[in-house]
Chains A and B, each alone.
Chain A
Amino acid sequence: MSAQTEVALGRIIGAPVQRKEDGKLLQGQALWVDDMHVPGTVYLGVVRSPYAHARIVEVDVAPALAHAGVVAAWSGADLAEEWAGSLPCAWLPTEDTRAPEHKPLAVDKARYAGDAVAVVAATSRAAAEDAAELVEVEYEPLPAVVDPEAALADGAPLVHDELGTNRCYTWSLEAGEVDRLFAEAAVTVSQRYRQNRLVPNAMEPRAVFVQTVPATGEYTIWSTTQVPHILRLTLSGVLGIPEAKLRVVAPDVGGGFGSKLDVYAEEALALAVARRLGRPVRWTETRSEGYLSTIHGRDQIQEIELAATAEGRITAVRVRLLASMGAYLQLVTPGIPLLGARLYAGAYDVQGYSFRCDGVFTNTVPTDAYRGAGRPEATYAIERAVDALARAVGKDPVEIRRLNFIREFPATIASGLTIDSGDYEALLDRLLEHVDLPAFRGRQEARREAGDPKRLGIGFSTYVEMCGLAPSRILGASRYGAGGWDTATIRCLPTGTVQVVTGTSPHGQGHETAWAQIVADRLGYELDEIEVLHGDTAVAPLGMDTYGSRSLAVGGVALYYAAERIVEKARTLAAYRLGVDESEIEYVRGRFAGPDGSLTLKELALSAWTAHDLPEGMEPGLEASYVYDPPNFSWPAGAHAAIVEVDTETGAVELERYVAVDDVGVVVNPTIVDGQVHGGLAQGVAQALYEEAVYDDAGNLLTANMATYLVPSAAELPRFELDRLETPSPTNPLGVKGVGETGAIAAPAAVMNAIADALAADGVTDLDMPATPERVWRALREARR
């Protein structure tokens, strides 16, 4: 099998095929976890701490037990013996990373507002909710710490007393002569940015449903998860149940964006209660409960310095990051900021690179992966800092980017990784075909001269990101607890259809369609002859699931190689059946042709199944599997521009245009890819303009529901203008890269740079996200003083 890129795979890969998934979703026939009804089910109500930090003095469940319909109620102490281990953190980035105990119910202390302290099981959802409110918990409130800088100060309240510090870890990387480059630099810029804390808000709330067969000790866990395989093995560890006794099913899952890449207390609780009661158990979060119990994203303080020549050529980058972990480590909490650790030089060629990140515990909801995870943060810092440098050296943002782009590929960057392929200048050129920059500057200037209070601004974001997690070897070196491979099985059925089993676990991305396109292209089946199975550990026992834009770049490539194996075996069989040498067989999409006759793959599948006449030693059946471990990450890149109008009288920001030119390698389905870009952009724009989880100093989440946290609607978002270039990835035979996170990675910087451009003449260039009217207005007032 060659690892050569085959761009010209044919017309099915690259076609805007309509999705196979849609029929049931459009007609209300999806199966969501909360749709499952089984007689005898008990519903869980979780009692949560109203305090950000408090000693749990006493928990009295008796009043709840007296409530009609209540079957059982337990405190954290009551369930302590259920746990064979803590809720897992699979990524401890340094040897001395502090990983505090994290049991599904807190016993001694509640460490954030929302921390679960007791659970009630009742025969109806309503009874469970009502009874949960009757549990009497006596708390001794303690001082809380919310801000990551304050958490490191002397005398700060300790989130975990036993650790003696709130520092979780310090991770650093130093490459090149950074100090010398800074000392010799003609120009340096130093910037400080705040990454606003975000609430992922997948539209389907989290839910879990557990069925058990007490006689065999087997459990089926239906979960709104992105990671059924990871959930299975980790729950095995938390509950001490052999993995073989657990089956995890992710049925239809309504979005995740990283928030369902986790192993949650409620999943462990449902399993423990099913084990105790021998009954089916269900829990569904209310949205407001989700704000307090489902992971948040971002929440970092970033300091970035650039060293440059007088004309603005960047020589070195230095970054200091403070990342809030929240109160506990969830599945990959500490690793999230480090997914951006090597990307703070962006698309630019630098010699020196220095990065340090301190992970810090605070009395807040744990942070973890949210769309982009580490890479939006890195992109934001470098893209804003490059604009600051442009202002410092008197250059245009476009010029400064051109001056600094990486130009030779593959490119080994200062931080030590190798970018597979790209053409950053071509992306920028294409962007400027859509955006007439001189005309815009004219319009901008004219407004300014006319004294129009509505300023115009343009912002650029020329990002590169690493995704497609990931080469197992690199994950191991980064102290991640698992590999980054994925699996595919293709089973050619005797009746002319084909079953595809994938280790990825889609929850809106359209894998059933895209995977069918790959198989149709390689094996010649019609799209509706291909069944794609996923998200059930009984059907797809081996997989690494869906996150980090990995599904196509890893799982899709595994499928390509499995198809190659099918072709190989079928070719041997075809040669045997046609009585010719294998070298005489020509294979073209589903048909094996010899000098005087041919056989279709479907005919061969039937003969392999009957097995009446096979070559000596050949196994019956036409089935193949492949486990693919990528040799590198995949490296999408793009050039985005935002044009904003800022009303200096009200502070209101209006996004006039957003243009995105992306290079995500070979595109399997352009319609699906556009959809992924749209969705990512919406979340990126939302980070810049609307969303922020705000805590008060006491650790109360002030934006604790959908009415106070602004998830934008259609009315707040613009039409996005998309274009694409394709630089095939040379590391996989499909030439594909990831795409799911690009929009969320690029957009915050583009929008905030545009606002800074609009207001630079008014003296406002430092503005934090989200740029709400109030924040913009205050910054302007401050600048006028």
Chain B
Amino acid sequence: MPKSKSAYSIPGKIGKTERHIIVVWVDNEAGVLARIAGLFSGRGYNIESLAVAEVDKKKHISRITIVTEGTPQVIEQINLQLKKLVPVHKVADFKRGEKDILFRELALFKMLANSKKQEKIKKLCKKFNPVVLDKTKKSFVIQVTALRAEIDKLALDLKRFGLISTSRTGSVAMTKGAKIFN
């Protein structure tokens, strides 16, 4: 007899994981986000970030962008399971690093900084479309848009400049050129 004391089989090998960005078009109705989130949590999939908003006011369609990580088999399951949900219209799936896709995240940083420091901060953020949203003698709120890794790094760098609050969105995505997801 095997030493296993379980009525279940023992786990097999786990494959290499990949990071994917999954875009889902859904009816913007009550509970739809719970259905999507519940599918992920219930099946043990992982949500790294999530961005949702209605994109079609007339048809009440929301676009959800989910960043997730999993083996190719798991990613395929996520796609297929999402497509089975009644309020889901379509699902698009991109591997992180694909060439034809644009990704952006937005972040707001609040810092305690005098005007001299503020100039340095602006310089640091220069590459990331900085917009100063609020400014006092002592404090400073700046908005940047960039890729996730860039924002991660920026947040680290800003620590030295009196960063006291960070607010970030999940990633949103769009194809390059005239093509759209179908």
Do these two chains interact?
no
Using a CB–CB distance below 8 Å, which chain B residues touch chain A?
Answer: none
Chain A residues close to B by CB (< 8 Å)? none
